[in-house]
Amino acid sequence: MDEPTVPLGEPELWRVSAFRRAMEGTSKDGSHLSSLSPSLLADLQRFQNSGTGSEVLEVLAACLRHSQDMALHLDRDQHVLPLTVFPRERLFHTPLPLDTLYATRFDSVRLLQVERAVLRAPGGRADDLAAPTDQCHPLGPLLWHLALHGPRFELLPELAGPAVYRVAPDLEVPAVLSGALAAAVGRLRQEPVSLRALAAWPGFDRERGARLLNGLYLQAGLIVSRTHPGATGDSWFSSLSKW
């Protein structure tokens, strides 16, 4: 008898090798992008045309911008982890237990496939397509974990380039942020800074600054200015300018 491929008590997940074989012939990168809305498809094709393919964080950012439910299949330790994102409800669905999900090495997670969601968010009519409520969770913490610990270590394309950044005044600091990260959010409420200036703050470097800014953007908590005097160059003195 074959040994189980997942720990006892976890749902049976596809092996990535079997998933890839099943998806052969769909598209170059295995994405069912044609099932998405034209506007979201055009957004995602920016990454396809770049030759680097799409990243998990880029796809989630596009999903949030267009407010379209989306199903993602991720490579998690050679098993396929399905996530369905409901941006309007700020929820996501996964069959994986939440504690197991957050024990994931997020820096090794890779995107396998993107398509329009089949499941519907809970709370509507009850049928076979409604996501089970006990498998749906707040989206915010997942976005933070992927931003801070996921494979992307640079700014999202929407944030890159000459700019200064400031935190929206009504953003609440989540429990996932502590220490230097929480202190930086408080300081960013008071003054706009460039990424280079943020990278020089205590407890930061350029990668950690980019990860924080990405996370704030995904929470709709980041103000980006490209007309501010400090945005003309990514220099240390940009943090000294007034908003």
How high is the pLDDT of residue 49? 46
Top-confidence residue, 45 or 56: 56
Which of 81, 219, 84, 206 lies closest to 153, judged by CA?
206
Main-chain phi, psi angles of 6, to 5 degrees: -130, 155
Instruction: Give the Cα separation of 79 and 85 in Å (integer).
Output: 19
Instruction: Give the Cα separation of 65 and 209 in Å (integer).
Output: 22
Main-chain phi, psi angles of 175, to 5 degrees: -65, -25
Tokens encoding 149: 């610990």
Tokens encoding 206: 């350029």
The region of weakest confidence among 14-23, 38-47, 180-189 is: 38-47
Instruction: Give the Cα separation of 19 and 5 in Å (integer).
Output: 14
**What's the rounded mean pLDDT across residues 212-231?**
89
**Mean pLDDT value across the chain:** 82
How high is the pLDDT of residue 148? 95
Instruction: Give the Cα separation of 57 and 63 in Å (integer).
Output: 10
Other Cβ atoms less than 10 A from the Cβ of 49: the count is 8
pTM to 2 decimal places? 0.81
Instruction: Give the Cα separation of 169 and 182 in Å (integer).
Output: 14
Q: Binning pLDDT at 50, 70 and 90, where does residue 20 land? A: confident
